[in-house]
Structure 1
Amino acid sequence: MSLDAALPAAQPASAILPRRGGTAGALSDVLWRNPRSLLMLMLAPPLLWLGIVYLGSLFALLLQSFFSIDEFSGMIDRQFTLKTYGELLLPSNLDIILRTVTMAALVTLASAVIAFPIAYYAARYARGTWKALFYLGIMLPLWSSYLVKVYAWKLILAKEGILNWLFTKLHLTWLLDAWLALPTVGGNSLSVSATGTFIVFVYVWLPFMILPVQAALERVPVSLTEASSDLGASPGQTFRNVIFPLALPGIVAGSIFTFSLTLGDYIIPQIIGTSRLFIGQAVYAHQGTAGNIPLAAAFTVVPVVIMGFYLWGAKRLGAFDAL
């Protein structure tokens, strides 16, 4: 008996992969033969969501900002005008914009200063269990509710809170009272002051700065710092000329999060801080209470424009490589 006769006869392709009947079968065959069509079909729902819901709402928002409120009837006048944008230049509205941008810049700067040594230790010295504990410690605050953290800080910063108690025990109440007496940053207590708003902003957004900086520092080869030391550079010179320039994209990447999140947040200033409005609060007030949707839309366009220029500058500094 020959070997060919012993082997079973080869089955035709149709017996191995039988064709499915009906419309579903025809569609399945077409998609199997055209993988690009399958990819486009899978990407269509998120792209439609992004294009229609997200970008469409932004376009509608931009469109609303070119309308104005009729001063006599209080109704929206749907004629294109730059009158609403002119209202942003009023002293009261300009003060809101400058206050928000200043707070966002200060929070970003403070977050970078605090995050850098933490990220440097994690990138250079933490290994094994310690690195796992580092990630756990950074990510753990993000697992708790945003509102819970804000209200917890309100209790901490209150006049009867633990921070005030600590200043009393250290006999530093006079220092806290002197700081709260300052006109711009002070108030009756830390929970109703710009200083309290600043502290909570830094706490809430700090993890978003630490992680990109740590990722950027891990990419810095140890051989570069060793070579700098071998060539006679002091630790300060090594930091300024080697470590900091290579870590700068990570700092800028983290600043994208801290700056933009501070710029658009309205919950923290609503719960902790003074009665001075931020951009997010102004948008909420004009859209909900005052019913001035064009001015609310114009206020919303301000962070979009600011972040557009910010992202353009961050891209030129290579920040997206550290994300």
Structure 2
Amino acid sequence: MAFFHRHPRLRLAGLLSAPLMWLAVAYLGALAVLLVSAFWTVNGFTGEVVREFTLANFRTLVTEEVYRNVTLRSIGVAVAVTAICVVLAVPMAFYMAKVAAPRSRHWLVILILTPLWASYLVKAYAWRVLLANDGPVDWLFFGHGPGYGLLATVVVLTYLWLPYMILPLYAGLERMPSSLLEASGDLGARPLRTFRAVVLPLLVPSIIAGSIFTFSLSLGDYITVQIVGGKTQLLGNLVYANIGAANNLPFAAAIATVPVLIMVIYLVAVRRSGALEEL
């Protein structure tokens, strides 16, 4: 023990070795296997995996219009969910951080976190009941509810991932000095001008931090679209379909690399915004 006390770096390395090994094996190792298997194919006659390097799967993804459309649709859904979450989360987080009484803020945070304690499947199937024909939402809109489909998918994903946008915004607003808002008011700025010129620029890193969650989770989701998406096809359920009925694991792996690549590009693009420090 005295040896490790004299060498703090070795002590730190010993403490971190187990979790880092787990990260390398369970997470990075799984991604490596995914990437390697994406370059294999399946024998059309026997159904066996052919472990020979080929770009056939990626060539299919690029050349076939259906897969390009599914990719663009998945990105569009992720962007729409993220944008709606921002619109809903900003006023909620602002009220929690700057308007609500200090004693009630902790309770508001608990209320925001409460939906996360419920099962994902329970929440998704609850929305399936709500959106069913002649269901509550259909009755509310006089028989013209959205039903199942792309719009329902966006609505349910927004509900599921909204807390992941609210919490980073709340943390960013809570750290923002109230004196900035008071100074803006003293200089004659109206509330809307204060929000646009003072609050919003300071919230950009927090918004990007929240979008990392909402965008990535929406991009790879397949359960929600299976439950309320109707005939909608996104990247997530294409992966699921090729693992299950089609039994084409290499092609499923190739499809799964698409959201991973998109998120890597997004993270590289936002790395200088300070958003990663908000996580």
> For this structure pair, what is the TM-score category when the shorter chain's length is used for normalisation?
over 0.9
Shift of 1:224: 1.9
Higher relative contact order, structure no. (Cα contacts within 8 Å, ≥ 6 residues apart): 2
**Larger CA deviation: 313-322 vs 28-37:** 28-37
Instruction: Please give the alpha-carbon distance, in whole angstroms, between the structure 2 residues aligned to 1:120 and 1:30.
Output: 51
Q: Which residue of 2 aligns with 1:68?
A: 41
1:152 aligns with 2:135: no
- The 5 A counterparts of 1:15-94 are 30-31=3-4, 34-71=7-44, 73-89=46-62, 90-94=64-68
2:58 maps to 1:102: no
Q: Which digits, 9 at most, give the CA deviation of each residue in 1:104-158, with x for residues without a partner? A: 0000000000011000111111123321221121011111111111111111111
Query: What amino acid is the match of 2:75?
Result: V
Judge conservation of contact 2:150–2:232 (CA < 8 Å) in 1: no
1:228 to 184, 193, 196: 184
**Partner in structure 2 of residue 242 of structure 1:** 198
- 3-state SS of the aligned residue for 1:289? coil
Matched, 1:282 2:238: yes
Higher gyration radius (CA): 1
Tell me the CA shift for residue 29 of structure 1: 6.0
Q: Distance in 1 between matches of 2:275 and 2:36?
A: 31
> Would you say the 8 A contact 2:219–2:235 is kept in 1?
yes
Partners of 2:189 and 2:28 in 1: how far apart?
A: 51
| 1:202 pairs with 2:158 | yes
Decide whether aligned partners of structure 1 residues 232 and 96 sit closer, same or farther in structure 2, where only a CA change above 3 A counts. same
**Partner Cα separation in structure 1 for residue 204 and residue 12 of structure 2:** 37
In the comparison of the two structures, how many residue pairs are matched? 278
- Tell me, in whole angstroms, the C-alpha distance in 2 between the residues paired with 1:30 and 1:120: 51
3-state DSSP of counterpart to 1:269 = helix
Normalised by the size of structure 2, how large is the TM-score? 0.92
Match of 1:298 among 231, 254, 271: 254
Contact 1:108 1:259 in 2 (8 A): yes
Q: Which runs of 5+ in 2 are unaligned?
A: none
TM-score in terms of structure 1 length: 0.80
Amino acid in the other structure paired with 1:146:
Y
Gaps of 5+ in 1: 1-27, 181-189
Give the RMSD, CA atoms, in angstroms: 1.9
Distance in 2 (alpha carbons) for counterparts of 1:285 and 1:275: 13
Counterparts of residues 127-142 of structure 1 (less than 5 Å): 127-142=101-116
The CA distance in 1 between the partners of 2:173 and 2:6, in whole Å, is 46
> C-alpha deviations, 1:67-96, integer Å up to 9, x for none?
233445543332222221111121111121
2:170 matched residue in structure 1: 214
